[in-house]
Amino acid sequence: MGKNLSIATISLLLLLASTNVRQVFDVKSYGAQINGDITQALTQAWKAACAVARSKVVISTGTYKLGLVTLLGPCKGAIEFKADIESFKGKDGWVVFKRIDSLTVLGSGVFDGQGQMAWQKNNCAKNIHIWCLIYLTCNGTGDDCISIGDGTQDVTIKQVTCGPGHGISIGRLGRYQNEQPVSGIRVVGATLSNTLNGVRIKTWPASPSGIASDIHFENVIMDNVGNPILIDQNYCPNNQCSNE
């Protein structure tokens, strides 16, 4: 290009560089403190990041308390959620991502859902649907370590370690009318140990018509798994349905 760069060339180089940089929104900038409740700080950081193209939400290393939080989209652009945590103790619920495209979840740590207390108050006969998503080690959940519900599309789950529990599930599907299709699900490099099931797709009996398609399970290691691969179209736990 020579020694001298034109204004147009400089502008292009700056543009190319900026496309690889994400604006960082650290929850500490919104009042989060070690051992404190960061529900409000996380919600505010997410809202700010969601309004910016190519952003990143960061939770720094530490132990925090967290109530029920729903992180809503749609967002202005692709967003990255990085939680690098030693322990994450939920007080009342879990973390829910809704109506978001191009979400990447990264990091390491422990989500302590206090399951023993939660199961005492569950209402599975009506609506509990437990999720544990993407790049996580899911130990002793007592249920599905990953559960993909209706309307979920284009999700890649990598290097998950699961067990004991019920395994990795698509569903339960078909309980309600007009459920949205499930498609483009990829589970790659998972390890399941001492689980009731391995990978499965489950639908309620006599369910309305629906579609689950383009589902791939690749390089899944199973050790002491009851049903390694299961497609169950008569899923009816605890006699919750009319098994027709």
**Those residues with Cβ within 8 angstroms of residue 33's Cβ, 6 or more apart along the chain or in another chain:** none
Residue 150 known to be catalytic = no
Choose, from 150, 154, 166, 216, the residue flagged as catalytic: 166
Angstrom distances, CA of residue 129 to CA of 56, 151, 216, 231: 27, 14, 22, 19
Grouping H, G, I as helix, E, B as strand and the rest as coil, residue 167 is strand
User: Taken in order 48, 57, 76, 10, is the CA torsion positive or negative?
Assistant: positive
**Rounded to a whole number, what is the largest CA-CA distance in the chain?**
78
Choose, from 26, 143, 154, 216, the residue flagged as catalytic: 143
Phi, psi of 241 (to 5 degrees): -145, 170
Phi, psi of 135 (to 5 degrees): 60, 40
Residue 84 known to be catalytic = no
Q: Which residues are tagged catalytic?
A: 143, 166
